[in-house]
A and B are shown apart, each in its own frame.
Chain A
Amino acid sequence: MTAELNRQRVLTMLENYYAGDLEGTLERCTDDVEFFSNAPIDILPHLGGHHGKAELRAMWQTVGQRYSEMRHEVAIMVAEGDRVAALIRLFLRKRSNARVVQFDLAVFYTLRDGRICQIREVMDTFDLVGQVLERDLSTLLTGKPEGES
């Protein structure tokens, strides 16, 4: 029962966030919420680790400044007790040139008293960095066009 309730809480938080309701999203987090996204912070400096609502607000505001539209599709959810894992497909439109960045994100949430107190993210950062910088990193590293062995 708790797992199903927490699953719904995470879904609602995601709906809030991707609808642009930043304060509504933060209301669903504890004051001491911890966030960690495994990402190269020299290229994506707004990711990495953050602690507390103020830091999360600043990070999400940075994301909002970079992308004009954000859309999500929850592909898979697994919930057990106070933990929920979600595999989410994201579509983010860049403000700079209107191109869409599309990638899958694995997020692990921990809840306490019905609020999210920990967020851990894993994504294919090689693919994401390539899309953000608009560079074919495989070609850069191998010297071969994509798909050529």
Chain B
Amino acid sequence: MTEHSLWRFSRALHRAINERQFNEIDTLIDEDVDWTIHGPVDLFPFFGARRGKDAVLDVIRQIADRVRVHRFDREAIMLGLESASSLLRYSLTMLDTNKPLRLRLAHFAQFKEGRLSSLRILIDNHELVEQAVCLPIRSRMVSVSA
């Protein structure tokens, strides 16, 4: 039974982020990959959309420069033929501030011939930003009726 592409990609991605080993991840990304991490690019420049392998490798290097992964737990996972989706809980450290962060994210990955061709990541960014700035966003706003 062949291993699902998600597992190889996941191992290579975490190796790239934590050990700055980019050789393996380089072989697992399609040249025309479509990659989006939804979130505030003004606060986290490695969020946003990227197209093409070079742009995606560059953004993975940016993430590796700023973040260390300590732990991740898959709370849900679904594997399709050449697709996968997970609900994950991450424990990270921001390297510039040494600040620990916990976040929940969902990803939808598509593979083509074993290589990542599309990745969409959604994050509970409100929680992430509050941890990163150490202040409830609500306290920075005057009251409004939502």
Min distance, Cβ B125 to any Cβ of chain A, angstroms: 4
Q: Is the CB of A122 within 8 A of B42?
A: no
Q: Which of B78, B120, B126 contacts A84 (CB 8 A)?
A: B78
Min distance, Cβ B135 to any Cβ of chain A, angstroms: 9
Contact of A140 with B78 at beta-carbon distance under 8 Å, contacts A38-B127, A39-B124 already known = no
Please name all residues of chain A whose beta carbon is closer than 8 Å to the beta carbon of B84 when the two chains form the complex. Answer: 78
Within B67-106, the residues touching A (CB, 8 Å) are: 75-80, 83-85, 87, 104-106
Q: Which of A125, A133, A138, A141 contacts B124 (CB 8 A)?
A: A125
Q: Is B43 an interface residue (CB 8 A)?
A: yes
Q: Is the CB of A39 within 8 A of B104?
A: no
Q: What range describes how many residues of A lie at the interface?
A: 35 or more
Within A99-149, the residues touching B (CB, 8 Å) are: 104-106, 108, 110, 120, 122-129, 132-135, 137-142, 144, 146-149
* Residue ranges of B at the interface with A (Cβ–Cβ < 8 Å): 38-40, 42-43, 45, 75-80, 83-85, 87, 104-106, 108, 110, 120, 122-129, 133, 136-138, 140-141, 144-146
